[in-house]
Amino acid sequence: MSSKKFSIGSDHGGFELKQAIIASLEKEGYEITDNGCFDKSSVDYPDFAKLVCDDVNEKKVDFGVLVCTSGIGMSIAANKVKGIRGALCLSVDAGMFSRLHNNANVCCLGAKYLDVPTAVEIVKTFSNTDFEGGRHCRRVDKFMDFENQ
């Protein structure tokens, strides 16, 4: 059983994948805060990205997960929130490296490109990979400094 806590959100294009991810992760003991959307009605993805990113910044959860059709809109929206390092993860390898080298704190997924087992594995790998630090600290510090310029 995992003690990891996630805040997860989607738009209408990512709703079904979000629901499947939640069901799978909860079965394995992950704690989930579902920030919507709650059906397939058309909504604006930045609204849900902000809710998830706020949970991450307020340390209510360990990580954020955002799902839209491509994952691109959610990753752009997430990275506009100060303190967030959102990564578009369309493979397990990308999920691992986004944490290992970039210390990402929000995993963005594209429902158009991922099946449920792969999406779940990406989120699990993302959350179970530690930041490598070292030379990567300097790089992460540099791009995080962009927020203060």
Q: Which residues are catalytic?
A: 101
What is the four-CA torsion angle of 62, 59, 20, 49, rounded to 10 degrees? -120
Question: In this structure, how many other beta carbons lie within 10 angstroms of the beta carbon of residue 102?
Answer: 17
Q: Is 106 in contact with 42 (CB distance < 8 Å)?
A: no
Residues sharing a CB contact under 8 Å with residue 121, sequence separation 6 or more, in sequence order: 92, 95
Of the candidates 53, 34, 39, 26, the one whose C-alpha atom is nearest the C-alpha of residue 108 is 53
Which residue has 């003690």 as its token pair? 3
3-state class (DSSP) for residue 31: strand
